[in-house]
Chains A and B, each alone.
Chain A
Amino acid sequence: MKVSANELHSKLEKALLGLGLTQAAAKDASDMVCWLTLYGFDGIATLKTSLDLLEHCLTNVSAGTSPMSALQWDADTRTLSVDTQGGSALLFGNLWLEYSKSLATQHDEIAVLFENCPDVFLLMGYLPTLQSPGLDIDARAQQSATSPITYFKFRSGMNLPDVWQASMDSDDRESLTVCLTRPPTRIAEGSRREISVRKKAAADTKTDGRTSEMGITGAEYHQTAAELNTVYEQKLKTGIDIDSDLWDQLKHYGLATLVEADDASRMGAGPSD
């Protein structure tokens, strides 16, 4: 079925509230899914994973899991590790990335490594919110083990990233890695550490202080901001495809936010005409 972006956002936000997310987490998660979907990334596929995770960790949500428990900061390598231990990124992903931004302000350049987080790809959709003047953002993630690896490159002041996609020959799924850097006008070029996007075979990246080899094979696919805008316009024109079972699932979760009606409650909207 086809839905509008606003409909998807609204339905998803209610579903996530129904699943126990905070107001801001539900809103931001809906923003992420909609942003990814409108710009041509399959946020909805990952959303299904998120819903399964959230449904099975309801007790954790209501018990007030601390966002701090997943974080480990290594000041020497300026690396923030986020280990959700199999939990959903939607619970606190917005806060973890905001925390990363704060660290980047203090340390000029940091890397963030997400581990054990099945739906972490959705956090790529929060990067436009994180983007701000004076901050470069490089990120890479793989939606699933069989998906191409996706790179976002936001430069200071850009509303949309340059995007690269390339296939991987590794069986290991690439989680999310984000590098936040203050631009060279503000820090010495020599001290910069950037995740470089290689056009061909291999890329060396310094992320958590180690050097990892990452084989990238196959044709690369590059999208400019202008091309992303074309995708966005087209999505708005045609609507967003979503399977009706998932839509019903969202409706079902959203019911938890609604109050059953009776004659007395109907008066809460005024007397009948």
Chain B
Amino acid sequence: MTVAQANSSTITGRAPSIVMDLERLGSLPPSRLSFARTLLRHMREHQWTIERTDFALDALGHGETIYRIVTPSSQYHVVIFARALDDELRSDRVIAEAWDITFCLVEGEVTDDLRSSMALNVPLQEAGRQHPQLLVISRANKSVRNFDHFIEALSSGQQPNVDFLKRAGYIYRTTAVYGNGKFGIADYGRIRSNPDFGRPFSAQMAAVYVLRQFSIDQAEHIARQRSPGTAVTLNKSIKRYLGIGNSTGLGMAPFLILHPQLIDRWLQQREQALAYALAEVPSEASVGQLIHAVEQARRYFEETWIEDDAQAQRNCIVVEELGECLAWLKEVGTDLTDWSELTERMSAQGSLETQELINGLLIDLYPSSTRGLEDGMAVEEQMILSPDMATSELITLLETQYDWAIDGSYEAPKDRFWFWYKSAEKEEPRLGRRGVDSGAEKELPLAIAPSLKQLHVELTVFTENNSGASVIDFLLAKPEQLETVRRAQTMASTHYGEIRGNLWAESMKPMHLLRAKLSFLGANRFDPKGDLWVRVTFFQGSPLIEDLMQDADSSAWSDHWSFALAPPAERRESLS
């Protein structure tokens, strides 16, 4: 579907001024449309099989492992290299040069030549020259505390204490998951029409999902090697509660600014799904389902331990507000005739996090309403210039569609505090303080709002002196404005592409940008480390590979796993 086709459909979502508020975007939880969840549904519906085909690890868990993914149309392999890493080299920063694990998702067969090439290059990550048969490359580091505890427990015949997973829901966390042609791997264009990985980020999510299985297999292997007589396997409930972590920094932030048409689509689909849900009439059953979902989410936030004080405080507020929501839902019960009574109540009384959490749970109540939407998350992006538009018309367009930007103030020091740039160190995106840090002359043009205001100023002056002029006349005089002009013209026909915020402002929190994207990927358990990077968890509580392949009526499969609860203590399961 093209952008124009999508935008020709009726949008019944909330106003862009609400949806595109930066703080609200930074409060989004994962939802039914998140890519991790849609991937698992797709895997199950299309009966993918995943099996481990090679497992050449030494007693310490170092070596190579390969998993084969077979889909109805093709096959892929996830190849994982586990190597010894000195503790002092273990870093989540993009500037790191070595990791506990490096891995990749390969299209097709892994030949001996390819395997040799991967063994040389995948562990080098950015410094390697990767093969075009690779769809994804990534790396992960241990959560040393959790890893050591798991090995210790399993090798001594005990199940790990799940409290460790309440603090960090994984034993490995990825630090970057690269797709789309990075360092020589396959371009996204290669898989755009692929029935398996055509959805955005589905290849990346698949690689991470298989890594989660590896983390289980490797831990059990090391325990078995350490104490063959006493080691036990992980209980299945703990396996499901074990996710894969991710550490994300500013590198993710520019994506949201540089792909406004894609962001528009993601939010449009989410708003459409919410609108579908709100159009449904609450029933005794659906109210009961929502009460159950809210109770689970409240318990999830209660038992999730977050290191960051501010986020922990926000989570406490969510718990409190969900409690009030529960009380209200139970009180009104079947008297509730319209879901908007609930959402309006939450808008009036709840924090942004609670509001968006409730919205996500409402979408989850009506699975069929998102069926068509999850296949529409991709878009062909192109900014189109309309050279014949009169400059007076463009001025009007700016004043009506971008009033939030051109009415803003960008002159005071607090309003132009930050500048974004790329460091010579691995081209890591960083924030500098204008007037304090060096590099402002090499600023990345990510602050769209000030750019729009500058365009408005220059366009107004030009039009005063050139009555009847067109946009191309303006651009021939001001060629440096081309990028802003065509973005303004193109995005004017969309609803949710532009983030309503000043990315220069001292009060701007990059964390909101990171969380917005991470929520669409399917991350949960947001644990910010300051304002500039965050640790999250993927797939915690999700079905295991073996659950995907269960019969349709098996209770092992569940699509409702976003807010995973710690399993109760279970009896030991022997390896033998």
Contact = CB atoms under 8 A, between A and B. Distances in A.
A28 to B, nearest CB: 8
B181 A6 contact: yes
Given A95-B479, A101-B387, A268 B432 contact: yes
Interface string A204-247: 00000000000000000000000000000000111100000000
B485 to A, nearest CB: 9
Interface bracket on A: 35 or more
Contacts of B322: none
Contacts of B442: 256-259
A30 interface: no
Nearest to B423: A261
B533 A269 contact: yes
A39 to B, nearest CB: 12
Given A1-B129, A95-B475, A265 B184 contact: no
Contact of A265 (B430, B472, B486): B430
A238 B107 CA distance: 13
A265 B439 contact: yes
A23 B258 CA distance: 12
Contact of A95 (B95, B132, B190, B476): B476
Contacts of B186: 4, 236-237
A25 B423 CA distance: 23
Contact of A236 (B93, B190, B249): B190
Contacts of B479: 22, 24-25, 67, 92, 95
B431 interface: yes
Contact of B185 (A4, A66, A258, A260): A4
A6 B184 CA distance: 9
Given A94-B482, A95-B472, A261 B425 contact: yes
Contacts of A273: 91-93, 247, 529
Nearest to A28: B482
Interface string B17-38: 0000000000000000000000
A270 B250 contact: yes
- Give the residue among A3, A5, A102, A270 with the most B Cβ atoms within 10 A: A270
B54 to A, nearest CB: 25
A190 interface: no
Contacts of A68: 476-477
Interface in B172-201: 180-190
A239 to B, nearest CB: 4
A239 B182 CA distance: 12
A256 B442 CA distance: 8
* Consensus secondary structure, chain A interface: helix
A264 interface: yes
B303 interface: no
Contact of A259 (B250, B421, B476, B483): B421
Interface bracket on B: 35 or more
B385 interface: yes
Given A95-B475, A99-B472, A23 B483 contact: yes
Contacts of A261: 423-425
A265 B432 contact: yes
A78 interface: no
A98 interface: yes
B445 interface: yes
A269 B534 CA distance: 11
Nearest to B179: A6
B530 interface: yes
- Give the residue among B93, B129, B187, B530 with the most A Cβ atoms within 10 A: B187
A113 to B, nearest CB: 18
B429 interface: yes
Interface string B516-542: 000000000000011111000000000
- Give the residue among B186, B385, B428, B432 with the most A Cβ atoms within 10 A: B385
Interface in B433-452: 437-439, 442, 445
B545 to A, nearest CB: 29
Contact of B476 (A99, A106, A266): A99
B532 to A, nearest CB: 3
B411 interface: no
Given A7-B183, A22-B483, A95-B476, A269 B247 contact: no
A167 interface: no
B225 interface: no
B430 A7 contact: no
A270 B530 contact: yes
A24 B132 contact: no
A131 B437 CA distance: 44
B476 A269 contact: no
Contacts of A27: 483
B482 A24 contact: yes
Contact of B424 (A23, A24, A258): A258
Interface string B110-138: 00000000000000000001001000000
- Give the residue among A27, A105, A237 with the most B Cβ atoms within 10 A: A237
B480 interface: yes
Interface in A110-150: 129, 132
A165 to B, nearest CB: 24
A4 B186 CA distance: 7
A25 B482 contact: yes
Given A105-B388, A264-B437, A259 B424 contact: yes
A2 interface: yes
A265 B476 contact: no
A7 B422 contact: no
Given A99-B472, A259-B438, A259-B442, A236 B482 contact: no
Nearest to B107: A237
Nearest to A99: B472
A4 B428 CA distance: 20
A5 B181 contact: yes
12 contacts: A4-B184, A5-B187, A6-B187, A22-B479, A22-B482, A68-B477, A106-B388, A238-B132, A255-B424, A260-B439, A270-B249, A273-B247
Given A259-B438, A259-B442, 12 more contacts: A7-B184, A23-B482, A66-B476, A99-B476, A236-B190, A258-B421, A258-B423, A258-B424, A258-B427, A270-B533, A271-B530, A273-B529
Interface of B: 91-95, 129, 132, 180-190, 247, 249-250, 382, 384-385, 387-388, 421-425, 427-432, 437-439, 442, 445, 470, 472, 475-477, 479-480, 482-483, 486, 529-533
Instruction: Please list the 4 inter-chain residue pairs (A to B) with the smallest Cβ-Cβ separation, ordered nearest first.
Output: A6-B181, A4-B181, A270-B532, A259-B439
